[in-house]
């Protein structure tokens, strides 16, 4: 590997570490308000669905101040799980994670999957038929 390609690789990885997060959830140290920064419209819609409010800054959302501490943690954790599920890299402050909400939100997402056994039919059985050239590993779950 040449020096130029190593330098380029380091620059790209550094840029990703600094700017690659699609969403970040933290508590503002001066006001104590839970803040969400995101520059992605899909992530913004997820935050709004989880109870975050718009602010005057275009890329910043916040939770209402009237919420209790437990409710703030629950909404921040719920937003994080939904963002991860939607494939958005999310960074959340560790003190804002609620373990019970984390488990409950993942369970809710699993139950809502179309291929969950509780659903009458699975879309994979209706739309995906195996051919003789497919291996067992190529079948959709």
120 Cβ contact partners less than 8 Å away, ≥ 6 residues apart: none
Query: And the tokens for 109?
Result: 């997402």
Query: And the tokens for 55?
Result: 């602010």
Query: Model's pTM, two decimal places?
Result: 0.66
What is d(CA 89, CA 43) in angstroms, rounded to the nearest whole number? 10
At 84-129, the pLDDT tens digits run: 988 888 889 999 999 999 999 988 888 887 665 554 443 333 433 4
Span 70-93, average pLDDT: 91
At 40-71, the pLDDT tens digits run: 888 899 999 999 999 998 889 999 999 999 99
């Amino acid at each position: 590997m040449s020096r130029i390609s190593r330098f380029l690789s380091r620059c790209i990885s550094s840029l990703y570490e600094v700017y690659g997060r699609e969403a970040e959830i933290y508590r503002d140290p001066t006001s104590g308000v839970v803040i969400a920064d995101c520059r992605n419209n899909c992530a913004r819609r997820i935050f709004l669905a989880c109870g975050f409010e718009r602010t005057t800054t275009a890329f910043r959302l916040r939770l209402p101040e009237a919420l209790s501490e437990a409710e703030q943690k629950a909404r921040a954790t719920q937003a994080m799980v939904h963002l991860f599920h939607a494939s958005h890299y999310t960074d959340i402050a560790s003190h804002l994670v609620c373990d019970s909400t984390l488990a409950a939100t993942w369970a809710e997402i699993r139950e809502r999957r179309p291929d969950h056994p509780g659903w009458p039919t699975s879309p994979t059985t209706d739309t995906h038929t195996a051919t003789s050239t497919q291996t067992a590993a190529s079948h959709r779950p």
